[in-house]
Structure 1
Amino acid sequence: MAQKTYWILYLFFLNTTIELVNGEFRKLFEKGIRYERLSPINFTEISREYGYKSEEHTVITEDGYVLTLFRIPRGKNCHFTAQRTPVLIMHGLLLSSDSWIDSGPEAGLAYLISDDCYDLWAGNVRGNYYSRNHIRMNPDEDPEFWKFSLNEVGVYDLPAIIDYILDYTRSVKLNYIGYSQSGGSFVIMCSEKLGYCDKVRVAILLHPVAKMTNAKSQAFRAITEVYQILEPNLQNALELEALPRGGYVQKIVHDICQNDLIADKICRSILTVLDSYNPGSVSVSTIRTLTGHFPGGTSVRVMAWFNQVLNKKEFQNFDYGPLMNMKIYGSKQPSIYNCNATTAPIVIIHGKNDNIVSKKDVEWLKNQLPNVLEVVYVKNPLWNHFDVPYSQHTREMIYPKISEDLFKYSGNGVEL
């Protein structure tokens, strides 16, 4: 049964990608199928419905990308003076800041952290629906907009977001929480941008991406492989955008998953095929909500880069092929990230049932980083990759450790 579901999913994404190449996504965009029509409210409006006051901020990167950043300066249930050290939490692949509130105020990490009186900032990287803009380029018309991999997120997006938060709050440092690809982009930032690790008191990496050769998810491998094969031949802007919110895949998934029975059976099965089985961890209500925001868009090159790291023994930059690599990196092989430059204190939290980021690859990353304080494995043996943003058990499973380290590295309201 599992094998059958995998092939259905594989053919579904293969068909979708072929349609993309044939220009079907362009036709859908021309008909006006956009994410605004699917869900007109954003992070601030959703959080307001639960009694949380939030703010929307705009950050412009050095290379001109316009990013959206959300802030909850004080949680609804915070009854003390807010901690002076701000907390930045960053999303995973094809997600957005909405992933931290989709599971509701009892489980969403944005709510839990702000309720503990932290100044919570939820970022969005280039290419998702909150950061699909540029000071010069039009993402619907300019192919150059989409020619980025995770390298640009680490080199441009994270430094711009960190600088903005520190300037706005007049803080010396912040605490960082990076999930999945945002764990990897943090290491990239430390490797490529001198001095930025020094702006972080502690980095809590949740199921971080780096080397991924031991990933067990065949569905994730198949999907990224399709993009890796197609990436060199795609030309126009809409072809170079992968799995956007409001696109064909997201709209179908959103529509079918609004039925409770289908959400519980079919949509939960899709999550299971992509990752692994953890019965009852993600509620039906959360599944219905998250499909309004997932997938949330990225570049085809990011998807292709993930396929590359699934098959490489090093944590490295995007591989353009020997000729282009020589031009860009000065060698036939892409540059390898200097993990040893990640000098900020690191805490890694991971689940043993994660089929996307394996325990072996997490242990590899731990051995590359010079200042890992602790690697914590979630006590639930079925805890998987998607449980981090979406599980209804986040408060019990991972938040106590997050809260402990945030408190320890927040100086109790006093800058260290």
Structure 2
Amino acid sequence: MTIMKLVWAILLLFVFCGISSNAVPTDSVTINKALDGTLLKYLEGLADSIPKDEKNDETSDRIEQLREALKEIAFFGLEKHEKEMEKGRTLSRDEDSKRNVSELITSKGYSCEEHTAQTVDGYLLSIQRVGPNSTTKAKFEKSIFNKTKPVVLLQHGLLDASSTWVINQADNSLGFMLADAGFDVWMSNSRGNTYSHSNVNIKDNRRKFWEFSWDEMAKYDLPATIDYITGVTNASQIYYVGHSQGSLIAFTGFSSNTTLASKIKQIFALAPISHAGHVKGPIRLAVPFHGVIYDFLNLIGYEEVLPSTSITRAVGRTVCSIAPLFCELVTFTFAGIDFYAYNRTRSDVFYSHFPAGTSLQDVNHWAQMIHSGDTQMYDYGWHDNKKHYGQHTAPIYNISTLDIPVSLFSGGRDWLADPKDVEKLRADINHTIVYDNTLDRFDHLDFVWGTTAKDRVYKEIILQIRKSEATNDNV
């Protein structure tokens, strides 16, 4: 209960900041100190009040991590915490918080091509192609990759968008680093998010538009995107990088479609997910009631979850530039706790692009996975399952048939891709794993937002692709 007090306090303060931002002084430093001071007093008493769970080692370890983090802030003070974590940085609003994904790319000196792939069921999927920076273009004009330039597809996770791959500085974003390395970089967007909000047959204000989950992303979005990219580039195979849900649709989609799988040279799975039975945090509290919640929201016509709108983007920019620590703690309530790698000075940028929206059915599918612990297709209910699948229960994906080399990058502090669930994934696809690295201090979003991903993840991906290309050249 004490942990939940922290969660609700953070969320309430976050909302308070958004509501009152127009009524308080515009001096962000003054506001930040005042709000942080209020939170500090709360944290001082909260750390010691968290009870220990002697019977559950796992819970005890998580609580101890939280207690240590709270005591660190309360004891040393927010000022020292900021100095240590954000040396030399300011809390001013970043211009990237006002840019869309194309502008994020071009503002850093890279070229951006806009492409659209159409699925067989009519959804128009936006894809961005990132070209090299003007300062690196000449360097790779005579590259060994010039004739057979490696093609890399980046696929975002739940409630995210392609912007997640270029949301940090140019030297700390995977999309830019791959382009600088001489690769042909493509970033896709799943149906229903900010950049893939159209269907040639259905308007997005109709219920039928939102009748999809990650099942359809694996079955329809992946083939449409990959076939489009291979058609434009004439590449016989491409590399695939998926974060969170982006890895889930890869495991399920490629194991179900061998023709599509033959076009993938290697999968790089960041915060990999195939099972979700051990998800932690506040999200889990709603799981037992997911059916009732879904039916009620569906009944009142709430079909799109957490879309990106001008209001949400403005709130994200304002709140996170004024009180970035609040946004940092809100992130930890669902992603896992890691003060070390979170780039607080980019909070306003992160939350002006995230969340990017999805369907209520997609979120409900995740709740079903957490409840069952299985890699299952969407459960429509006893009678409707018979119509969709020819059986009364939702079928289980057999991802053990996957036959593509896989590199796993998982986090020791990830609450959504929990280490126990990742262990189940390893057992399912052990025969395909060529690289496996558990980064002990990484939470779920450190793989795309974190300051340490550059050295601990991105450089390794680039190295592996180069080795793979060198091996192919020698064959």
Q: Are the counterparts in 1 of residues 179 and 185 from structure 2 also a CA contact under 8 Å? A: yes
Equivalent-residue separation in structure 2 for 1:184 and 1:277 (angstroms):
23
Q: What amino acid maps onto 1:313 in structure 2?
A: G
Distance in 2 between residues matched to 1:274 and 1:324, nearest whole Å: 32
Which residue of the partner structure matches residue 212 of structure 2? 148
In the alignment, structure 2 segments of 5+ residues that lack a partner are 15-95
The question of 1:255 aligning with 2:313 is answered no
**Contact 1:353/1:383, CA 8 A, preserved across alignment:** yes
Alignment partner of 1:382 out of 423, 441, 444: 441
1:119-158 to 2 correspondence within 5 Å? 119-140=184-205, 142-158=206-222
What's the CA shift string for 1:258-284, capped at 9, x where partnerless? Answer: 22xx11x21111011112221141222
Quote the residue 1:245 is aligned against.
308
Give how far 1:209 is off: 1.6
Identity of aligned residues (%): 26
Report the counterpart of residue 298 of structure 1 in structure 2.
358
Q: 1:394: which partner in 2?
A: 453
Contact 2:4 2:282 (C-alpha < 8 Å) held by counterparts: no
CA distance in 2, matches of 1:415, 1:164: 29
1:324 corresponding residue in structure 2: 384
State the distance in 2 between where 1:88 and 1:414 align: 21
Counterpart secondary structure, 2:199: coil
Structure 1 partner of 2:7: 6
Asked if structure 2 preserves the Cα contact closer than 8 Å seen for 1:75 and 1:116, the reply is no
- Flag the 1:247–1:11 CA change in 2: closer, same or farther, 3 A: farther
Q: Using a 3 Å threshold, how does the CA distance of structure 1 residues 60 and 6 change in structure 2: closer, same or farther?
A: same
AA matched with 2:383: L
Change (3 A) 1:12 1:58: farther
CA distance in 2, matches of 1:109, 1:63: 31
The 8 Å contact of residues 123 and 191 in structure 2, kept in 1 or not, is answered as: yes
1:21 alignment counterpart: none
- 397 and 225 in structure 1: CA distance in 2 versus 1, 3 angstrom threshold: farther
5+ residue gaps, structure 1: 14-37
Alignment RMSD (CA, Å)? 2.5
Aligned twin of 2:121: 63
Bigger Cα displacement from structure 2, 245-254 vs 399-408: 245-254
Q: Distance in 1 between matches of 2:11 and 2:291?
A: 15
User: In structure 1, how many angstroms separate the alpha carbons of the residues matched to 2:465 and 2:413?
Assistant: 25
Q: Could you say what secondary structure the match of 1:318 adopts?
A: coil
Quote the Cα distance in structure 2 between the aligned partners of 1:130 and 1:224.
29
**1:141-165 per-position Cα deviation (integer Å, ceiling 9, x unaligned):** x101101011000000011110011
Secondary structure at the counterpart of residue 291 of structure 1? helix
| 1:8-407 equivalences in 2 (<5 Å) | 8=9, 41-76=99-134, 77-78=136-137, 79-80=139-140, 81=143, 82=145, 84-140=149-205, 142-216=206-280, 218-222=281-285, 228-235=291-298, 239-246=302-309, 251-259=314-322, 262-263=323-324, 265-369=325-429, 370-378=431-439, 381-407=440-466
TM-score calculated relative to the size of structure 1: 0.86
Q: CA contact under 8 A between 1:44 and 1:54: conserved in structure 2? A: yes
CA separation of 1:86/1:226 partners in 2, compared to 1, >3 Å: closer, same or farther? farther
Mapped to 2, the partners of 1:90 and 1:385 lie a distance apart of 15
SS at match of 2:192: coil
SS in 2 for 1:196: helix
Superposed displacement of residue 39, structure 1: 6.6
Which residue matches 2:44? Answer: none
Q: Kindly indicate whether structure 1 or structure 2 has the higher relative contact order, using CA contacts under 8 Å at least 6 residues apart.
A: 1
TM superposition score normalised by structure 2: 0.76
Deviation, structure 1 residue 232: 2.8
**Partner amino acid for 2:423?**
E
Change (3 A) 1:219 1:52: same
Partners of 2:244 and 2:271 within 8 A in 1: yes
* Partner Cα separation in structure 1 for residue 337 and residue 393 of structure 2: 37
Aligned partner letter, 1:113:
L
Moved more, 287-296 or 71-80: 71-80
Query: Normalized per residue, which structure has more helix?
Result: 2
Q: CA deviation at 1:12?
A: 9.9
Counterpart of 2:166, as a letter, is I
Whole-Å separation in 1 of the counterparts to 2:216 and 2:448: 24
Aligned pairs, number: 386
Secondary structure of 1:178 counterpart:
strand
- Measure, in 1, the Cα distance between the counterparts of 2:391 and 2:4: 41
Structure (1 or 2) with the larger CA radius of gyration? 2
Cα deviation, residue 55, structure 1: 0.9
My pick for the range that moved more, 400-409 or 284-293, is 400-409
- The one-letter code matched in structure 2 to 1:372 is I
Name the CA distance, whole Å, in 2 between partners of 1:254 and 1:226: 33
